[in-house]
């Protein structure tokens, strides 16, 4: 089991704490020990670790004869929190991925606005997308086919009231269906030709 030591509490430096640090730093006992090198890092800093203040206070009582308690030294100070970490921004790999996603979304939006493709039944799936021109052509052919079949059936049943000969009914219905088929095909071709010119 890995144990993590708690973070060191820092205090805001006050005049009383600065006086204590300067007095201990100047003492010959501190200069002879490693306390002076530790103090050098915090002597002009705005944040001082609480254990260092406590150690200096004990050293001041023992070696310098100071009679101030830790409470009197730390009175009026506050806990100092470290500055928030600076954000370095997004990593280059993440930035490339986000740029690719944005580019793909813009391309899809443009295609949808320009009418090059029609959205599938649901966005995000792998359903095939039928181009608008192909869809129009399919609908035109389907419309022409159903119109021709409808004309054939209508003329065949109406022909039964005029003549009893089935061959005549089929022939007249077939000729009229072909005539309507030709007219519908010509109109569809002309309509698609005008769309291309516009």
pLDDT digits (tens, 9 = 90+) for 20-37: 777 777 777 777 777 777
Phi, psi dihedral angles at 124 (to 5 degrees): 95, -10
**How far is it, in rounded angstroms, from Cα 34 to Cα 65?**
20
Tokens of 170: 């089929």
Q: Which pLDDT band holds residue 113 (cuts at 50, 70, 90)?
A: confident
Using CA atoms, how far residue 97 sits from 91, 103, 104, in Å, is 10, 10, 11
pLDDT tens readout for residues 84-109? 777 777 788 888 999 999 999 998 88
Q: Please, which residues have CB within 8 angstroms of residue 22's CB and are 6 or more apart in sequence?
A: 43
* Average pLDDT estimate for 41-69: 73
pLDDT tens readout for residues 161-180? 888 888 888 898 999 999 99
Q: What is the 3-state secondary structure (H, E, C) of the chain?
A: CCCCCCCCCEEECCHHHHHHHHHHHHCHHHHHCCHHHHHHCCCCCCEEEHHHHHHHHHHHHHHCCCCCCHHHHHCCCCEECCCCCCCCCCCHHHHHHHHHHHHHHHHHHHHHHHCCECCCCCCCCCCCCCEHHHHHHHHHHHHHHHHHHHHHHHHHHHHHHHCCCHHHHHHHHHHHHHHHHHHHHHHHHHHHHHHHHC
pLDDT at 114 over 90: no
Q: What percent of the chain has pLDDT over 90?
A: 12
Q: Is the dihedral of CA 24, 25, 27, 32 positive or negative?
A: positive
Q: Which pLDDT band holds residue 193 (cuts at 50, 70, 90)?
A: confident
Question: Locate tokens 């021109």: which residue?
Answer: 133
Q: Please, which residues have CB within 8 angstroms of residue 51's CB and are 6 or more apart in sequence?
A: 8
Per-residue pLDDT, 3: 63
Q: Residue 47's beta-bridge partner residues? A: 12
Phi, psi dihedral angles at 12 (to 5 degrees): -70, 135
């Amino acid at each position: 089991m890995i144990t993590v030591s708690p973070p060191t509490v820092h205090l805001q430096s006050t005049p009383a704490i600065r006086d204590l640090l300067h007095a201990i730093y100047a003492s010959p006992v501190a200069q002879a020990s490693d306390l002076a090198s530790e103090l050098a890092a915090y002597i002009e800093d705005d944040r001082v670790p609480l254990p260092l203040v406590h150690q200096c206070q004990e050293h001041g009582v023992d070696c310098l004869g100071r009679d101030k308690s830790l409470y009197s030294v730390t009175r009026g100070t506050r806990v100092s929190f470290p500055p928030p970490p600076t954000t370095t921004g997004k990593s280059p790999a993440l930035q490339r991925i986000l740029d690719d996603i944005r580019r793909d979304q813009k391309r899809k939006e443009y295609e949808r606005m320009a009418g090059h493709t029609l959205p599938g039944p649901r966005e995000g799936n792998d359903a095939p997308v039928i181009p608008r021109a192909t869809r129009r052509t399919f609908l035109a052919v389907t419309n022409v086919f159903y119109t021709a079949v409808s004309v054939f059936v209508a003329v065949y049943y109406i022909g039964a009231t005029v003549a009893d000969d089935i061959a005549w009914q089929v022939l007249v219905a077939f000729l009229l269906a072909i005539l309507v088929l030709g007219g519908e095909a010509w109109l569809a071709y002309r309509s698609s030709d005008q769309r291309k010119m516009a």
